[in-house]
Amino acid sequence: MRWLALCTGLLVLAMIWLGPLLGSWRAAFSAHMLAHMGVIAIAAPLIALGLPTRWRPRGSMPSVLPLIASMVELIAVWGWHAPAVRAAAEASVLVTIAEQGIFLAAGILLWWSCLAGGKERLNAGIGVGALLLTSIHMTLLGALLALSPRPLYGTDEVTCFGLTLDAGSDQQLGGVFMLLIGAAVYLVGGVGLAGRLVASANTAIQDK
């Protein structure tokens, strides 16, 4: 199961990085956002699940690591969506590579750190908070992008998904992708981890 998750995550990465999202559609903000969400909300958790268990710390893991990872992801996500930085990534393949690498590293760090403390109640509880915090800031950014009264990333029309979109519609679609994929996946992850924590606590009570 672990190797299946890892292989699936790597396959998703290959589809994103070698496909049209960052190729022929790279000028479209909505395509960028779909690639971004695919990396951090689909590929990253699958890869984190697939990492060898011996790489996961036991007992000695700093309990604040998930919160630190969540802050790293917040800085990465909001920083790379500043209009000037986004324009640089759109114009340069090298900047795009750096952007995608940071997204992947931040996503894996967050999911790995949250999943690593699964049997430690304090760490698992902090992991729940970190995932829910990430869901909140992605919801906020997604809503800001979808509801912005003016486009933030240029004014030209773009073509992606077989459609021609004006800059405003392109940005709104990107915001919706962040809400539907990113915010939702992290929310589900946090709730799922919380459910596992409650089940573990109930089992411990019954064993006493």
Confidence at residue 64, expressed as pLDDT on a 0 to 100 scale:
85
Task: Say what the pTM is.
Answer: 0.87
Residue 63 has pLDDT above 90, yes or no: no
Per-residue pLDDT at 152: 92
Joined tokens for residue 141: 């950014």
Report yes or no: 101 and 39 within 8 Å, Cβ to Cβ.
no
Distance of CA 64 to the CA centre of its chain: 19
Integer Cα distance of 30 and 25 in angstroms: 9
Query: Tens of pLDDT along 24-57?
Result: 888 899 999 999 999 999 999 999 998 876 555 5
For residue 202, the model assigns a pLDDT of 61
CB of 31 within 8 A of CB of 20? yes
pLDDT in tens, 142-199: 999 999 999 999 888 888 888 889 999 999 999 999 999 999 999 999 898 888 777 7
More confident residue, 106 or 55: 106
Write down the domain spans for the chain.
2-49+62-207
Pick the residue with more confidence: 72 or 56? Answer: 72
Distance separating alpha carbons of residues 99 and 89, to the nearest angstrom: 7
